[in-house]
Amino acid sequence: MAEGVIKFYGAMWCGDTRRARAWFDSNNIPYEWIDVDKDPEAEAFVKSVNKGMRSIPTIVFADGSILVEPSTRKLEEHARKLGLITAPQAVDL
């Protein structure tokens, strides 16, 4: 995995995972997809950062911050940290 890549832990049966992935994809934010149903080490990691719970999606940012089952609003807050513009900007004409 390249340095600075977001790690996205989830499962395709999970509606929250699909919603969050769609948000990342629609904003062209690159991430490494890790399916916890197919990767026992990934599942163990998710449980270790979520007090034994298999809470997904679990998203790990390059700065080490972690979002668990984030709302779209939380994703947008982190998008600003990634340098994305998430609100209309005034333009000088």
**Predicted pLDDT of residue 1:** 41
Q: What is the DSSP-derived secondary structure letter of residue 14?
A: -
Mean pLDDT over 7-14 rounds to 96
What percent of the chain has a predicted confidence (pLDDT) above 70? Answer: 82
Average pLDDT value for the chain = 87
Domains of the chain as residue ranges with CATH:
6-81 (3.40.30.10)
Q: Which residues pair with 72 in a beta bridge?
A: none
90 compared with 86, residue with greater pLDDT: 90
Neighbour-count burial of 61, counting CB atoms closer than 10 A to its CB (0-12 exposed, 13-18 middle, 19+ buried): middle
